[in-house]
């Protein structure tokens, strides 16, 4: 990475390279800054937090052009589809680097960052059609985020408990669909 490349791109490239070479646990703000040839403050300036940097690096590694917050606002899709798409994109991170998914989930829990829960609100409100109060919708979003986080942090235990193999995509898809149906108050057909 050349010095003429914008600092933001160098930082993102350094994070992606560290994840690919050594796994997500190797990613520290200091190591990314050192590899990108920038000061630690620039990471905060460009990304706001390590979590945001990891989320963008994860999107790049997954090859997704639409991060969850963009999926939530995509009005071309119905609310149910957008809700499932958000969850699907997040659970796909397990395929790329389970350590990265674990690190991001753990960081969100420890920091109290509920951005992921808030991303669920947009399609959840629309799918609800005004039947629930704002507090009920926020509680549902928090519950969805909590389940998603536990599935990420403890996939093996959840697989055994659910009787669904969360290490393979068909099992994750099943868990995701059940979660969305239950949240939206719909029974399987």
Instruction: Say if residue 30 is in the same domain as residue 103.
Output: no
Percent of the chain at pLDDT > 70 equals 86
- Please give the tally of structural domains in the chain: 2
Listed residues 10, 33, 63: the one ending a domain:
63
Instruction: Say if residue 131 is in the same domain as residue 41.
Output: no
Instruction: Say if residue 121 is in the same domain as residue 182.
Output: yes
- To 5 degrees, how large is the angle CA 156–CA 52–CA 183? 50
User: pLDDT tens digit string along 123-151?
Assistant: 888 888 888 999 999 999 999 999 988 98
Listed residues 63, 80, 97: the one ending a domain:
63
Mean pLDDT, rounded, of the chain: 82
Query: Which region, left, alpha or beta, applies to residue 63 given φ > 0 means left and ψ of -120 to 50 means alpha?
Result: left
State which residues form the domain around 102.
65-189
Instruction: Say if residue 44 is in the same domain as residue 103.
Output: no
Contact 137, 128 (CB under 8 A): yes
Instruction: Say if residue 46 is in the same domain as residue 84.
Output: no
What pLDDT sits at residue 69?
A: 47
Instruction: Say if residue 46 is in the same domain as residue 91.
Output: no
């Amino acid at each position: 990475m050349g010095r003429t490349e914008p600092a933001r791109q160098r930082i993102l490239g350094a994070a992606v390279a560290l994840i690919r070479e050594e796994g997500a646990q190797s990613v520290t703000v200091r190591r990314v800054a050192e590899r990108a040839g920038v000061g630690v403050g620039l990471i905060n300036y460009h990304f706001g937090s390590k979590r945001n940097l990891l989320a963008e690096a994860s999107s790049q590694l997954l090859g997704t052009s639409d991060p969850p917050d963009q999926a939530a606002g995509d009005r071309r899709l119905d609310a149910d589809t957008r809700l499932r798409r958000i969850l699907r994109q997040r659970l796909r991170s397990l395929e790329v680097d389970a350590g990265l998914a674990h690190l991001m989930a753990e960081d969100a829990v420890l920091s109290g960052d509920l951005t992921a829960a808030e991303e669920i609100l947009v399609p959840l409100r629309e799918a609800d059609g005004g039947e629930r109060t704002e507090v009920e919708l926020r509680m549902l979003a928090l519950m969805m985020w909590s389940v998603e986080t536990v599935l990420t942090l403890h996939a093996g235990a959840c697989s055994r408990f659910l009787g669904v193999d969360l290490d393979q995509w068909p099992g994750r898809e099943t868990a995701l669909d059940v979660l969305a149906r239950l949240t939206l108050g719909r029974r399987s057909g």
